[in-house]
Amino acid sequence: MTQLPVTITDVRAAADRLRGAANRTPVVTSRTFNGLTGRQVFFKCENLQRAGAFKFRGAYNRLAQLSAAEKQRGVVAFSSGNHAQGVALAAQLLGIPTTIVMPDDAPPVKLAATRGYGATVVLNNRQTTSREQIARQLADERGLTLVPPFDDAQIIAGQGTAALELLEEIPDLDALVVPVGGGGLISGCAIAAKGVRAKIAVYGVEPEGADDARQSLATGTIVHIAPPATIADGVRTQAIGTLTFAIMRELLSEIVLVSDAEILDAVRFVLTRMKLVVEPTGAVPIAAVMVNRIPRKLKRVGVIVSGGNIGAELLGAIMR
């Protein structure tokens, strides 16, 4: 096996750093879901994580390791979604000044939440400028540390703590099913899961039309796709990273796809039957298990429910 850029030791060290800062989220089960799918499924509820998604784990692990000087100068990140809030909250807890570059058409509630964690929000017009470019410029000009959303060893190690906790609680899983955007979550989780249970099978799930990771693993090179139109806004990334690609091609069994309709069915099932609010991205792996995209012989299945930050409008629409 190739030497990977992140090891189980890194994930364990991240778990130590996160203790007391991150929620140890509950693992829930549903006999109805089990009956429906003919499996025993264990949902790791990162929708109940601080700031509503797993992103806080990686951000906190990254920021906690900055030098005193770096902490004093501050950090910058670009994101319209959960990464923004994860970084802002982690920085607030660690007393680090934060700037987040967000699109000027982001939902007001997300802007307010990010500011609520004490971050300075810089708005950009997505038609005319690149958020990433602005963030890099701010980093250069002001000496800020750029916190990347996924392609970073410390971010990856932090995200892996979700799977580490799940496996501590349910050690004898046959498979782990994880949504794939940039690949930070699944890379960390695969390292953690394989690190404590070598024979576990790890499956990634992407929405149809956002299958850049599947294409990349199939072709053996990182494939860039056009901006995908899926409802799962957390996995609309156009390309996975260099580190995450290296880890995913080594550790994943397969990447499977689900449709937006299947994703929404899963959101609705979890909301009405399991009484949990999950965002479409969090429902991506749930949908894959519901419609049996994972081999039937895998009976004990862990699912990383990545987040719960769904807009009120969409939730209302789903209920109608």
| 306 classed as catalytic | yes
Closest CA to 23 of 45, 7, 39: 45
By CB under 8 A, the residues from 284 to 313 that bind a copy of itself are 308, 312-313
Burial code (b: 16+ CB inside 10 Å, e: under 16) for 52-70 equals: bbbbbbbbbbbbbebeeee
The one-letter code for the residue type at 258 is V
Is 316 an interacting residue with respect to a copy of itself (CB under 8 A)? yes
Q: How many CB atoms lie within 10 A of CB 123?
A: 15
Binding mask 239-278 for a copy of itself (x = CB under 8 A): --------------------------------xx-xxxxx
Binding mask 16-55 for a copy of itself (x = CB under 8 A): -------x--x-xx-x---------------xx-x-x---
Give the tokens for residue 113: 């939440």
Strand partners of residue 1: none
Strand partners of residue 45: 305
Is 320 an interacting residue with respect to a copy of itself (CB under 8 A)? yes
Strand partners of residue 177: 203, 303
CB of residue 272 to a copy of itself, shortest distance in Å:
7
Integer Cα distance of 294 and 288 in angstroms: 7
CB of residue 279 to a copy of itself, shortest distance in Å:
9
Integer Cα distance of 139 and 162 in angstroms: 29
Is 227 an interacting residue with respect to a copy of itself (CB under 8 A)? no
* Nearest CB to a copy of itself, comparing residues 68 and 319: 319
CB of residue 143 to a copy of itself, shortest distance in Å:
31
Active-site annotation holder among 30, 44, 55, 216: 55
Give the tokens for residue 76: 């910058």
| 55 classed as catalytic | yes
**What order of strands is seen across the sheet that includes strand 120-124?**
120-124, 98-103, 75-78, 145-146
CB of residue 316 to a copy of itself, shortest distance in Å:
3
Would you tell me which residues interact with a copy of itself (CB under 8 A)?
23, 26, 28-29, 31, 47-48, 50, 52, 271-272, 274-278, 308, 312-313, 315-316, 319-320
Catalytic residues: 55, 306
